[in-house]
Structure 1
């Protein structure tokens, strides 16, 4: 039976990488026969290439659509450029990738940008990545609300994004309502999604408790009148919806995982801020 692993490895290698792949596969199959390797290792280079491709198309689509959205209502403002740069910061992009992302941004605002084709390419490259698509849409929604209620032209772009990524209307409305609440309560202090890295922390000259609670309630998308059970329910729903482990398990780009990690950190911090400010629940008498 010592030939079995080499035969399987060689066949798989031939299918994946041609003659050279067959040689590599046979060698790896020999390792399997000896209990020293796994056939699955043969596919790691392909997985790495697929992850790199998804990373590239995620960045390209995110920033080109941000540029297209900014241009939709006329002139691109400094605020809209600053917003795109803040997303780059939250993603942890280095100087080279920031330049690339900004190039995508300017491509998106150029005449003739094909939004439908960009979304179709993104969806094709990310099958089954519903959470990644939601993250992309949240960024676009936050950008649209940066200057207040989005106008008709920006709403059309947002609807094209929803339709192009096949996101259910109910999910879109839930995301939009969350963003709307955050900007309604936090205004210019709101970050790209949850109130920014400073959400839940006092701003200069502001009463600390009020500022912290305003940011915390906005982060969870609820008001101060919410019951303890409603607070807990909102927290659990957001944590489940944004947890980075789901992105990691599907091979999502590192930039998306970092964003999701920041989101869950801010959601958890908001929940802790709210619960700490509330009186403890009465126990049984």
Structure 2
């Protein structure tokens, strides 16, 4: 049974605990203290990841004081990409709305997410990529959103350089996702290598990023199965960047 089947199927109770557990309990419409047992292992990580993803997305959408229609549409698009069933989509919307609350405990949520992910850098990177993608929903990144995103980076253990590289990946993919639309400068930023890098260094960077975004590996570490399409899209962007550089260099 999938992680969400445990929540709704009644096979056994669960208790995530902490701020993520409180958010999930509010979205489900009941308190977690009335449940017995625990959700463990990969399914626990998947539950925490899903809960944090949509609640933090709601918090970011409210960063500039209002939630735009494009930001709401971005959240809906993400839900469609994940092919959420009606029950899960309803829960995601409730989590998004929970994140818009004035007293949303961002730091506590991020700290618990990091613990639940067991500091798996590649898994938390996907979380950050999703948040950045959602923040760019209206075509630009507001300063208030950027401040929160940089704070998220710091809280999860990412450097400013890593943030810039993820942002470059998003911009490059947004220009078409094909070598005909992606700029060469963005391709180098996506692979996080300079134009002076050797062919061997370019290939090494490509292999590293491909491994980090491999959908099956991420699911094994706790990415919800519904988010595999997002990871696959990122892998495609990385491959597109690599192919563009290969073509330009004659590799």
**For the pair shown, which has the larger CA radius of gyration, 1 or 2?**
1
Cα distance in structure 1, aligned partners of 2:168 and 2:232: 22
Asked whether the 8 Å contact 1:67–1:108 carries over to 2, the reply is yes
The alpha-carbon deviation at position 236 of structure 1 amounts to: 3.5
Change in CA separation of 1:87 and 1:217 when aligned onto 2, cut-off 3 Å: farther
Cα distance in structure 2, aligned partners of 1:241 and 1:222: 16
TM-score (norm 2): 0.68
User: Residue by residue, what CA displacement relative to the aligned partner does 1:83-120 show, whole Å, maximum 9, x if unpaired?
Assistant: 11122222232221111111111111122111111111
Cα distance in structure 2, aligned partners of 1:131 and 1:123: 11
1:77 aligns with 2:77: no
**Pairing partner for 1:213 from 165, 180, 184:** 180
**Pairing partner for 1:96 from 83, 87, 102:** 87
> Which segment drifts farther, 127-136 or 158-167?
158-167
> Which segment drifts farther, 159-168 or 212-221?
212-221
User: Residue by residue, what CA displacement relative to the aligned partner does 1:222-275 show, whole Å, maximum 9, x if unpaired?
Assistant: 69xx79948756644531331224324434332344422332245436655x48
Unaligned runs of at least 5 residues, structure 2: 1-36
1:254 aligns with 2:230: no
Asked whether the 8 Å contact 1:123–1:165 carries over to 2, the reply is yes
1:131 aligns with 2:152: no
The alpha-carbon deviation at position 69 of structure 1 amounts to: 0.6
Question: What count of residue pairs does the alignment treat as equivalent?
Answer: 209
The residue correspondences of 1:179-258 to structure 2 (distance < 5 A) are 179-183=170-174, 186=175, 199-200=177-178, 213-215=180-182, 220=187, 229=199, 235-258=206-229
Cα distance in structure 1, aligned partners of 2:249 and 2:140: 38
1:145 aligns with 2:97: no
Change in CA separation of 1:219 and 1:62 when aligned onto 2, cut-off 3 Å: farther
TM-score (norm 1): 0.61
Asked whether the 8 Å contact 2:213–2:235 carries over to 1, the reply is yes
The alpha-carbon deviation at position 139 of structure 1 amounts to: 1.2
- Larger RCO (CA within 8 A; separation ≥ 6): 2
**Pairing partner for 2:110 from 119, 136, 145:** 119
Unaligned runs of at least 5 residues, structure 1: 1-45, 187-194, 201-211
Asked whether the 8 Å contact 1:178–1:221 carries over to 2, the reply is no
Asked whether the 8 Å contact 2:98–2:104 carries over to 1, the reply is yes
Change in CA separation of 1:213 and 1:118 when aligned onto 2, cut-off 3 Å: same
> How large is the RMSD of aligned CA atoms in angstroms?
3.4
Cα distance in structure 2, aligned partners of 1:47 and 1:281: 55
